[in-house]
Amino acid sequence: MAIEFAQAGHDVHLAEPLHENLTEDHWETVEDASVAVTSNDVEAALKC
């Protein structure tokens, strides 16, 4: 859902502490959609 919101023009901040939860292809798709990724839940929440 983060990708769709980013593609719709919203600023999206995704908290994902475990990088291995997604494949490299998924991470590339997330980055290409301009989704900001952090491992810190608090940081992501404060950016909203």
> Are the beta carbons of 13 and 39 closer than 8 angstroms?
no
The whole domain housing 42 covers 2-46
Q: How many domains does the chain have?
A: 1
Give, for all 48 residues of the chain, the pLDDT tens digit.
Answer: 889 999 999 999 999 988 898 999 999 999 999 999 999 889 888 886
> Are the beta carbons of 12 and 2 closer than 8 angstroms?
yes
What does pTM read for this prediction? 0.71
Q: Which residues pair with 13 in a beta bridge?
A: 36
Note the pLDDT of residue 24. Answer: 94
